[in-house]
Amino acid sequence: MERDMDEQTRIELEAAAFRRLVAHLRDRTDVQNIDLMNLAGFCRNCLAKWYRAAAEDQGTAMDYEQAREIIYGMPYADWKDRYQREASPD
């Protein structure tokens, strides 16, 4: 199937899936980053790092805090104050 798809369509579909993932994670503030790391091996911070790296690969200057704000939908410090809970010993 992917072989039959033109490059622009593939990029647009990947971008749409990424935007949907980010929106889902913004809505699911009950899901903690530590839980994502334990279950999936990545978290919102990982997405921000990957986003920043992709920006740099394209020649766009972006720092880590800017990338986190894009992923979290707000400054990370605000998200942390509102939604982050202390990790359990488990």
Find all residues with CB under 8 Å of 43, minimum gap 6, and list them.
Answer: 33, 34, 36, 37
Q: How far apart are CA 34 and CA 84, in angstroms?
A: 10
pLDDT in tens, 29-86: 999 999 999 999 999 999 999 999 999 999 999 999 999 999 999 999 999 999 998 8
Q: Which residues of 37-73 are buried (b: 16+ CB within 10 A; e: fewer)?
A: eeeeeebbbebbbebbeebeeeeeebeeeebbbebbb
pTM for the predicted model, two decimal places: 0.87
